[in-house]
């Protein structure tokens, strides 16, 4: 399958290079207002859209997309949009979030989209699913770090969106360090604080936040 | 007065140009390990060094400097080192007044003949006093303006376990250079102080006149 060569716009910037991004917002309105053009551009171009949302707000999220003028029923039925609710039981091992399973699932849905014939997928992770379910910070950061390795196999832009009202200072900083570019205050920039996944995992182990055997 | 042309080393790189840094740490030990050489270098170079700390913990901080090899009594007596409890007084309760206090002590240092000053802010004073995020960011923005008028190198040190996500992100946005995980980088997320103050006003987090 050939890759899409269409440009991707985000907050007034054309995206190129590594595709794992983070975004920080002060509230839901600012979040959706900023991400909507990115979502619409992909749908209009016939790309796949995968949105991971907090399990409790799946229907509320669909309603917000509808209110913004997206024909949610049609794009879900055609398979162009998947709204995935997390955490589901597959992500949890012994009541704890399991990064391995989550990464496998992301790999699967991106691979499946490609097999369905989509030349590009735009993924958005509304990270409330992790923050509101009190997923352990070390496990979440290990997931974010290792997602970089998975995404090297894809050309798909993946945006992890963090609502600052649920996020502590230490998490914000580690999120910065696990994403190649960041959208902050409406400005999208390459991120010089990014470090390779192996280095992040090593640091998490040294801090005792993520076990050697994990 | 000629400016000092000595190089400034911090966390293994030579600083130039931008002088208002934020630094983030996971523990007090990590923090002190990074800040101590920066202060020692300044003292050795004959520069003024100002250490802003929680007013309740001044003695503790002085003890740690001594433990780190600084002859605290001697450099305090000579006026080269000031360990200052922050905020300076209850009266100086708003960001504007606090920024003015900093402006004043930097001017005083210059008048005393110091060609350059190093300021280290241990930002625990803010979390210990439950300073609201918006107020803290307004202060950082105001200080960014003050520091640009002086020949001063400034490190604002934040213990990550004590600050909210909003605070950490906006702290990043008010410092042109940041130290994260022991690595210093020019910070592309920095915005000019006037823009930050305007954004805080638009968010309704500070008053028009703040």
Instruction: Identify the structural domains of chain B with CATH numbers, from first to last.
Output: 17-202 (3.40.50.300)
B4 pLDDT higher than 60 = no
Domain A17-206 bears CATH identifier 3.40.1410.10: no
Residue A3 C-beta-side C-alpha neighbours within 13 Å: 9
Interface check for A21 against chain B (CB to CB < 8 A): the answer is no
Does residue A126 contact residue A161 with C-beta atoms inside 8 Å? yes
pLDDT, mean over chain A: 90
B209 pLDDT higher than 80 = no
Residue A116 φ then ψ, to 5°: -70, -5
A197 pLDDT higher than 90 = yes
- H-state helical runs in A68-196: 72-77, 99-115, 128-131, 137-151, 169-177
Does residue B160 contact residue B25 with C-beta atoms inside 8 Å? yes
Select the residue from B11, B181, B184, B198 to test the A interface by mutation, using most A Cβ atoms within 10 A: B181
Contacts of B86 (CB under 8 A, 6+ apart): B52, B53, B54, B55, B121, B125
With contacts defined as CB-CB under 8 Å, which chain A residues touch B169?
A: 24, 164, 172, 184
The C-alpha atoms of residue A36 and residue A113 are separated, in whole angstroms, by 21
B2 pLDDT higher than 70 = no
Does residue B172 contact residue B22 with C-beta atoms inside 8 Å? yes
Residue B47 is encoded by which pair of tokens? 């520069």
Question: Is the preceding omega at residue A143 within 30 degrees of 0, hence cis?
Answer: no
Percent of chain A with pLDDT over 70: 91
Question: Is the preceding omega at residue B171 within 30 degrees of 0, hence cis?
Answer: no
The C-alpha atoms of residue B22 and residue B144 are separated, in whole angstroms, by 11
Contacts of B169 (CB under 8 A, 6+ apart): A24, A164, A172, A184
Paired sense of beta strands A13-14 and A9-10, if any: antiparallel
Q: Poorest-confidence range of A184-188, B83-87, B105-109, B133-137? A: A184-188
The C-alpha atoms of residue A152 and residue A91 are separated, in whole angstroms, by 22
- Across A183-192, B42-51, B80-89, the highest mean pLDDT is recorded for B42-51
Residue B120 is encoded by which pair of tokens? 């280290």
Cβ of B191 and A177 within 8 Å? no
Question: pLDDT tens digits for A160-195?
Answer: 999 998 899 999 999 999 999 999 988 888 898 999
Cβ of A177 and B180 within 8 Å? yes
Number of H helices, E strands in chain B: 8, 9
Please state the rounded mean pLDDT for residues B71-84.
97
A104 closest CA partner among A91, A92, A95, A117:
A91
Among A residues 47-106, those touching chain B with beta carbons less than 8 Å apart = none
pLDDT at A171: 95
pLDDT at B90: 56
Q: pLDDT confidence of B8, banded at 50, 70, 90?
A: low
The C-alpha atoms of residue A63 and residue A65 are separated, in whole angstroms, by 5
For every residue of B113-132, DSSP letters joined together read: T-S-EEEEEETHHHHHTT--
**B81 vs B4, higher pLDDT:** B81
Percent of chain B with pLDDT over 70: 88
Interface check for B182 against chain A (CB to CB < 8 A): the answer is no
Q: What is the pTM of this model?
A: 0.88
Q: Minimal Cα distance from A186: which residue of B? A: B189
Question: pLDDT tens digits for A61-95?
Answer: 999 999 999 999 999 999 999 999 998 877 777 77
pLDDT at B62: 97
Question: pLDDT tens digits for A124-133?
Answer: 999 999 988 8
Does residue A4 contact residue A45 with C-beta atoms inside 8 Å? yes
């Amino acid at each position: 399958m050939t890759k899409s060569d269409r440009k991707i716009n985000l907050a007034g910037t054309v995206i190129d290079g590594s595709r794992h991004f983070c975004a920080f917002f002060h509230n839901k309105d600012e979040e959706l207002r900023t991400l909507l053009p990115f979502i619409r551009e992909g749908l209009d171009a016939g790309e796949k859209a995968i949105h991971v949302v907090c399990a409790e707000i799946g229907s509320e999220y669909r309603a917000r997309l509808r209110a913004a003028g997206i024909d949610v029923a049609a794009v879900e039925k055609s398979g162009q949009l998947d709204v995935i609710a997390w955490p589901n039981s597959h992500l949890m091992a012994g009541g704890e979030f399991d990064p391995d399973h989550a990464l496998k699932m992301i790999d699967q849905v991106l691979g499946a989209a490609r097999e369905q014939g989509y030349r590009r997928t735009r993924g958005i992770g509304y990270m409330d699913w992790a923050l509101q379910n009190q997923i352990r910070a070390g496990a979440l950061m290990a997931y974010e770090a290792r997602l970089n390795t998975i995404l090297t196999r894809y050309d798909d832009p993946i945006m992890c969106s963090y609502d600052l009202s649920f996020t502590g200072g230490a998490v914000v900083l580690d999120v910065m360090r696990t994403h190649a570019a960041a959208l902050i205050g409406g400005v999208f920039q390459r991120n010089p604080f990014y470090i390779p996944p192996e280095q992040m995992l090593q640091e998490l182990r040294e801090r005792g936040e993520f076990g050697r055997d994990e | 007065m000629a400016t000092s042309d000595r190089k400034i080393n911090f966390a293994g790189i030579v600083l130039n140009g931008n002088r208002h840094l934020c630094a983030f740490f996971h523990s007090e030990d990590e923090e002190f390990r990074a800040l101590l050489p920066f202060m020692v270098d300044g003292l050795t170079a004959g520069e003024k060094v100002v250490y802003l700390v929680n007013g309740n913990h001044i003695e503790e901080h002085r003890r740690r400097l001594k433990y780190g090899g600084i002859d605290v009594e001697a450099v305090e007596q000579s006026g080269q080192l000031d360990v200052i409890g922050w905020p300076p007084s209850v009266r100086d309760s708003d960001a504007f007044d606090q920024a003015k206090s900093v402006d004043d002590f930097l001017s005083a240092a210059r008048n005393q003949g110091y060609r350059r000053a190093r300021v280290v802010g241990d930002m625990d004073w803010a979390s210990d006093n439950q300073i609201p995020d918006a107020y803290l960011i307004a202060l950082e923005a105001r200080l960014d303006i003050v520091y640009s008028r002086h020949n001063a190198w400034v490190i604002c040190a934040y213990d990550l376990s004590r600050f909210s996500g909003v605070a950490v992100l906006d702290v990043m946005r008010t410092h042109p250079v940041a130290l994260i995980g022991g690595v210093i980088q020019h910070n592309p997320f920095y915005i000019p102080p006037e823009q930050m103050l305007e954004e805080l006003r638009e968010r309704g987090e500070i008053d028009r006149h703040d």
